[in-house]
């Protein structure tokens, strides 16, 4: 929908300028006139294509920036400040360049007569369907300040959960990556010099030493093939994950990864499902619409399929727990509590309780995992170093004593 810049006079005979989006200039003129303004000039302009490039290449909107924006907007709206004025103030306070541009455009659209939810919906890469639906429900019910406060609370909880989970992954990923790099360097530059003496003696070498020498020679001769294979696997997996079958398969594997799958990933997705679903229901979104939105934001194709099947069951008049009972990725406790919530008419309350429970479970799992990973990595490092030392020093010891 095209944008129109306008210059007009209000009831106090003051000049006001703004922007309105409409299908054509006649609709734009009617929209401005309906606001009690006398139009002096109206000019069409193309939507800012540069913004999309800036979002993609210059700076993405971080979750933390969006949380701060939501909280500040909620506070200002709660203080009965007009939405346009609140957005204008926030433009000057936001640090993120990308988000600053978005909020400025949203303020212009709202000032031009658009609803806040419609203005936010134009930027799906910044404001998700979940976010827009919550704002729309708040506008419809006349409780925008309450919905924004609730939305900000839920975003903060989601941000904390993601931060803790990522924090638990950084340490093992860093150590394992370091081990791979060190092992690669050792095999190409260090081990060949140490094993050269052993090969010159012509003595019979243990099987561990022979394997080490063969592996080192392979790395020396074909290191470029190994790098090509690793790069090919990386981009191949990225491409495969973008396909429907690939995403579903990798998401299923993610749930079955030893230790991480059942302890963290499954519970993390359950938190995301229950919290988002509860937030939408509390905001006044219908049951089926809330399930549709939740299926898009849960972030895992396995759970998305379960929710999609549940939508069809609910539309046919069946219980929300019907499909969940048959699923292997949904615990029995969740199924039973959903059934109770549906029967008592307190589904949002039950979902909040489930969300809080699994949030604590994830916190405990992350804390325990960090505690367990350190000794496991030390054992792995010790085992690798021990095998390498034994493969080199034992033959040398045998030659020295022989």
Is the predicted pLDDT of residue 129 greater than 60, yes or no?
A: yes
pLDDT tens per residue, range 101-127: 888 888 888 888 888 988 898 888 888
The stretch 149-158 carries a mean pLDDT of 78
C-alpha triplet 29, 30, 35: angle, nearest 5°: 100
Which of 123-132, 315-324, 383-392 shows the lowest per-residue confidence on average (mean pLDDT)?
A: 383-392
pLDDT tens per residue, range 262-298: 877 888 889 888 888 888 888 778 889 889 888 887 8
How distant is the alpha carbon of residue 139 from its chain centre?
26
Q: Using CA atoms, how far apart are residues 177 and 181, in angstroms rounded to an integer?
A: 6
The stretch 195-222 carries a mean pLDDT of 77
Tell me what pLDDT residue 50 has: 45
Which of 13-17, 98-102, 207-211 shows the lowest per-residue confidence on average (mean pLDDT)?
A: 13-17
- The ranges assigned to domains in the chain are 1-47, 162-402
Q: Which CATH superfamily is domain 162-402 in?
A: Type II secretion system (T2SS), domain F (1.20.81.30)
Q: Using CA atoms, how far apart are residues 372 and 11, in angstroms rounded to an integer?
A: 69
Q: Using CA atoms, how far apart are residues 186 and 388, in angstroms rounded to an integer?
A: 10
SS3 breakdown of the chain: % helix, strand, coil, rounded to 5? 75, 5, 20
Element (H, E) at 370: helix 347-401
Is the predicted pLDDT of residue 241 greater than 70, yes or no?
A: yes
DSSP 251-299: HHHHHHSTTHIIIIIHHHHHHHHHHHHHHHHHTT--HHHHHHHHHHHS-
Is the predicted pLDDT of residue 49 greater than 50, yes or no?
A: no
Q: Using CA atoms, how far apart are residues 159 and 169, in angstroms rounded to an integer?
A: 16
Q: pLDDT-derived band of residue 381, with 50, 70 and 90 as boundaries?
A: confident
Residue with token string 């895992």: 300
DSSP 42-75: EEEE---HHHHHIIIII-PPPHHHHHHHHHHHHH
Tell me what pLDDT residue 214 has: 84
Residues 6+ away with beta carbon under 8 Å from 217: 192
DSSP 297-325: HS--HHHHHHHHHHHHHHHTT--TTHHHH
Is the predicted pLDDT of residue 51 greater than 50, yes or no?
A: no
Instruction: For the chain, give the percent of residues with pLDDT over 90.
Output: 7
Is the predicted pLDDT of residue 40 greater than 80, yes or no?
A: no
Is the predicted pLDDT of residue 365 greater than 90, yes or no?
A: no
């Amino acid at each position: 929908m095209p944008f129109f810049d306008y210059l007009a006079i209000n009831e106090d005979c003051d000049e006001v300028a703004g922007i309105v989006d409409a299908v054509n200039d006649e609709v734009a003129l009617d929209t401005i006139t309906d606001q009690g303004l006398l139009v002096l000039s109206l000019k069409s302009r193309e939507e800012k294509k540069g913004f999309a490039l800036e979002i993609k290449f210059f700076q993405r909107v971080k979750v933390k920036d969006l949380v701060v924006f939501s909280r500040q907007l909620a506070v200002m709206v709660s203080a009965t400040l007009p939405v346009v004025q609140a957005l204008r103030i926030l433009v000057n306070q936001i640090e993120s360049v990308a988000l600053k541009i978005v909020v400025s455009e949203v303020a212009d659209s709202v000032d031009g007569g658009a609803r806040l939810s419609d203005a936010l919906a134009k930027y799906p890469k910044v404001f998700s369907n979940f976010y827009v639906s919550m704002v729309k429900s708040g506008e419809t019910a006349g409780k925008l300040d309450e919905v924004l406060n609730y939305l900000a609370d839920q975003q903060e909880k989601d941000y904390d959960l993601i931060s803790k989970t990522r924090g638990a992954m950084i340490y093992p990923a860093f150590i394992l990556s370091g081990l791979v790099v060190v092992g690669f360097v050792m095999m190409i530059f260090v081990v060949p010099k140490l094993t050269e003496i052993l090969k010159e003696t012509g003595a019979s070498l243990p099987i561990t030493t022979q394997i080490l020498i063969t592996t080192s020679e392979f790395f020396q001769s074909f290191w470029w093939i190994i790098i090509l294979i690793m790069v090919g696997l990386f981009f191949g997996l990225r491409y495969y994950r973008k396909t429907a079958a690939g995403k579903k398969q990798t998401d299923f594997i993610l749930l079955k990864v030893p230790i991480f799958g059942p302890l963290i990933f499954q519970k993390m997705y359950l938190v995301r499902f229950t919290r988002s679903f509860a937030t939408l229901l509390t905001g006044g979104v219908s049951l089926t619409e809330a399930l549709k939105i939740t299926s898009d934001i849960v972030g895992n194709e396995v759970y998305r399929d379960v929710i999609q099947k549940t939508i069809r069951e609910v539309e046919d008049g069946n219980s929300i727990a019907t499909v969940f009972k048959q699923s292997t990725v949904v615990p029995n406790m969740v199924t039973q509590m959903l059934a109770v919530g549906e029967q008592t008419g307190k589904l949002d309350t039950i979902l909040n309780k489930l969300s809080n429970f699994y949030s604590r479970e994830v916190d405990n799992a992350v804390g325990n995992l960090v505690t367990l990973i350190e000794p496991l990595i030390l054992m792995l490092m010790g085992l690798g170093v021990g095998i390498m030392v034994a493969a080199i020093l034992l033959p040398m010891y045998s030659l020295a004593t022989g």
